[in-house]
Amino acid sequence: MDIKDCVPAPMRCGNRVFYWGERTYVMGIVNVSPDSFSGDGVSDFESAIYQAKLFAKQGADIIDIGGESTKPDYLPVSIEEEIARVVPLIEALVGNIEIPISIDTSKAEVARCAVQAGASMINDVWGLRKSPELVKIAAEAGVPLIITSNQRDNQAEDIMAAVILDLKAKIKMAESGGISPENIIVDPGIGFGKTPEQNLEIIRRLTELKSLKKALLLGSSRKSFIGKVLDLPENQRFEGTAATVAIGIANGADIVRVHDVEQMVRLCRMTDAIIRRKG
């Protein structure tokens, strides 16, 4: 299959238009959850503002704000607490950075408040399993929705078949609920209910997901399968992350979600120069 034959239509997000296939877009992670798996979580407001503005200056195309950890043993927070963590931050950033803001949540109420505050994308790592109502919220607001294939509580032996089947079902649900086809982004869910070997297999076979004809997000940054391969803690997984990002781009990733924005922007530019012939 030729990746060029599976390029989705351009997508508008906030005041930006994303032209898939021309270059790789970088999503910078801002976690306002103190128990973030990667150790990058910030709990004070000013530090979060600074980090988001820094990422925008360093070349991020989207800022993804999350108020609840998504690691396997995470401690759930209440809807009220999550809203209190993310909404004031979104309100402070809208108009102060030029790039779109994404809300990383699986709670419909949080997503609704975040979009009202100015978020222009919803990132659901539970792939509509926890809140199908996210479809209605995204459709009514006209904002893109990232759908993740999450195998937690439902692990699969044939991982690529499971991911593709899951994403096809969720795409159908989203489109039937009124979301424009170009506003759906798919994420294979690296680290979400997969074994380390399955995570490696997904990156190796990422091209197969292009058959879905949706923009493809890869979120491999600092994750535990890298730590297993390299026997390194979260804060020493930069090179391992870089390898997964470069190979992911070669295999069709359109967006990469990362912690180390400045370095990954450079890596994407170099990889695009080779793969997409964009200097």
For the stretch 96-136, pLDDT in tens is 999 999 999 999 999 999 999 999 999 999 999 999 999 99
- Structural domain count, the chain: 1
Q: Which of 153, 112, 111 is nearest to 129 (CA)?
A: 153
List phi, psi (to 5°) of 240: -65, -40
Q: Which residues contact 277 (CB under 8 A, 6 or more apart)?
A: none
Range of the domain at 158: 22-275
Is residue 89 domain-resident? Answer: yes
Is residue 4 domain-resident? Answer: no
Task: For residue range 136-190, list pLDDT tens digits in order.
Answer: 999 999 999 999 999 998 888 999 999 999 999 999 999 999 999 999 999 999 9
* Kind of pairing between the strands at 11-13 and 16-18: antiparallel
Residue 1: pLDDT band (50, 70, 90) is low
CA 148, CA 210: separation in Å to the nearest integer?
A: 15
Which is catalytic among the residues 23, 170, 210, 257? Answer: 257
Is residue 3 domain-resident? Answer: no
Is residue 136 domain-resident? Answer: yes
Is residue 12 domain-resident? Answer: no
Is residue 241 domain-resident? Answer: yes
**Residue 205 a catalytic site member:** no
**Residue 257 a catalytic site member:** yes
List the CATH number of the domain containing 55. 3.20.20.20
Which is catalytic among the residues 223, 266, 277, 278? Answer: 223
